[in-house]
Chain A
Amino acid sequence: MRIEKVIKIKNPQGLHARPAALLVQIANKYGVSLKIKKGKTVVDGKSIMGILMLEAGEGSQVHVVVEGESAEEALREIEELLENAEPVE
């Protein structure tokens, strides 16, 4: 299964070290392939280096493409993470 979704980042930490790390962990946990697009840049969602290079701060929009058996569950968790206005530990 392949799902795409545009998500607006509400997390005050943006897609920075801690949320970026959690994102990689989610992708690995569900064994899905994850692509994240911002503007013209597309990066592998399993690469923390790639995610950081997007420089996606709070309020920016990213286009998420999840592919794999558990794509739905993975996307749900990703949305929770990025749309959560509370900073994560």
Chain B
Amino acid sequence: MRNQLNKVLEGIPASPGIAIGPAYPYGKERFVLYRKKISEEDVPKEIAKFEEALIKTRQEILELQRNLSQKGAASDKIFEVHLLLLEDRMLIEDVIKELKERKFCVEYIFSQVLKKYINAFSQMGDSYIRERTADISDVGRRILKHLLGQDEGQPLRLEEPSIIVAHDLSPSDTATMSKENLLAFVTDIGGKTSHTAIIAKSLEIPAVVGLQIATRVIKSGDLLIIDGNEGKVIINPDTKTLRKYQKEKDRTIVEIQQLESLVGDLPAETKDGKKVIVASNIEFPSEVDSVISHNSEGIGLFRTEFLYMGRDDLPSEEEQFEVYRQVAERVKPYDVIIRTLDIGGDKFLSQIEMPKDMHSFLGWRAIRFCLARPDIFKVQLRAILRASAFGNVKIMFPMISCVEELKQAKSVLTEVKRELSRQKIKFNKNIEIGVMIEVPSAAVISDLLAKEVDFFSIGTNDLVQYTLAVDRANEKVAYLYRATHLAILRLIKTTIENAHNNGIWVGMCGEMAGELPLIVLLLGLGLDEFSVPPISVPKIKYVIRNVSFEEAKKIAEQALLLNSADEIEEFLSKRMKNILDRCISDNVCDVCDLTGLMPKKKRSKKRG
């Protein structure tokens, strides 16, 4: 049954823009099952089908296990349990008994039996056993896939332009997903800085997250309007609504194009001649096209997790080198800052069984993981160093929390450099090293860290979450997540001052660097580099080109004297509006309501 017309769901706007298209439900839990009645004679055939699925699943698990043990990963024990669950006679006998009694197709019977076990296990008093539910459903899913004749791990390819509707999207989902025909993301959970939001922004598609009931309400093929500006999803709109949004969509495209033509490849230079760098954050090498077309000054953050995700083996040095080299060569003469593997928190590797403490943002992740696994870390460092012979490559370490950790990482790098020198392999011996300032302790001791590196990049997503103790993926506490909290602004100020006092530069690669009202503040605090999704580059350059550094400094000074995030945001929005108003009265352009800050009637009729 189709949904009624014009049903509206409200969520959190995670990536701006408007998309219109059919819904494509996506998710591991989602199987289309039919309850098909069978006859007495069909029973043996269905049992045979079940056995065949069990055999295939067994082969699949054995293969996974083999791949893991080849890599020397210690914990393939979990698959032993999976194999036992697969061969469990209680489960098998239950399925066969029900099949004979109820006479429905085996897919349906199996899913019912599985559900029964999952329910029973999830209600167990013992928490350890309760957690086995995940193993049972994992094995169950594999069996069900084989029963339905679907291959595991088949990456998603959309046949027609569609909107992905999912409970949540993990980094491995998005890493394996084909980006062709992808119009927008809609998810039940997540906040403004969840993985889905970051990916959507880098792909330049709209996203609405935290809708809670999207996967339950939206049916496959429903026509959807995604309003990523307002955080709304409209299901099966009527023609009037459809026309309104179509117009809005066209207008946004025109405005972005205008802004781009206006800024072009001009530098990000203030009216009084202070130059900053506006670079891009990227997740995939394919985004380099967008980096170049938006006249971005290089790449301020190249995330490397995609290389490791959605596969059974680890990427080789050669494979990584090729990727890094190509990106470096393409963005030359600009820089590309490669961040070393930042796994853990909400990003996991499928090759290595991740202990539970990696699921915590406070746990064994990023540089902590890399230092504990030099076998993995060194391969990446070798690949990055080799690529540095082909472009302006810089290295950045994530999640540094103390000086010792940084020194350790640097000594691994020195070791790798020595190896390369010995082998007479070319690399840039003076490659610049930076750290991400994303743990509050790092910001506080940034004077000490500054003596060890060539640059800082402030990662505000984690910095905000750690400083304010707000889990950024939890929609219930999302309201507390404020980049304009004075604690954050003071940490940023300290970091920039400490860097400049030690003669190094500071960039910012968090979401905060792309938020319009905050650009002037950050500029005024002395930030040297803004790294944002490629699509935001022209917008930021435009603002910077229309203020003076002196004015920005004053605005920053005043903002830091205020008492709350609300006051600061209101103050900054007003100042931003003044600046944009001024641009309009200068007849520079009429594109400024792109920001959502400008009243429509003030738009100038003249085209710039």
Contact = CB atoms under 8 A, between A and B. Distances in A.
A17 B89 contact: no
B594 interface: no
Interface string A34-77: 00000000011011111011010100000000000000000000
B89 A16 contact: no
Contact of B121 (A44, A47, A52): A52
B88 A49 contact: yes
B9 to A, nearest CB: 39
Interface residues of B, number: 20
Contacts of B90: 43-44, 47, 49-50
Query: Contact size class for A?
Result: 10 to 19
Contacts of A48: 81, 84-85, 88
B125 interface: yes
A7 interface: no
A84 B77 CA distance: 20
Given A50-B90, A52-B132, A21 B84 contact: yes
B interface majority secondary structure = helix
A89 B84 CA distance: 17
Interface string B81-110: 100110011110000000000000000000
A53 B117 CA distance: 9
B567 interface: no
Residue of A14, A44, A52 most packed against chain B (CB within 10 A): A52
A52 B122 CA distance: 12
A5 interface: no
A52 B129 contact: yes
23 contacts: A14-B126, A16-B129, A17-B81, A17-B128, A17-B135, A18-B77, A21-B84, A44-B89, A44-B90, A46-B89, A47-B89, A47-B90, A47-B91, A48-B84, A48-B88, A49-B85, A52-B121, A52-B132, A53-B120, A55-B125, A55-B129, A57-B126, A89-B77
Which 10 A-B residue pairings sit nearest by Cβ, starting from the closest?
A47-B90, A48-B84, A49-B88, A55-B126, A50-B90, A49-B90, A47-B88, A17-B81, A16-B128, A47-B89
Given A16-B128, A55-B124, A55-B125, 5 more contacts: A17-B81, A18-B77, A21-B84, A48-B81, A53-B120
Interface of A: 14, 16-18, 21, 24, 43-44, 46-50, 52-53, 55, 57, 89
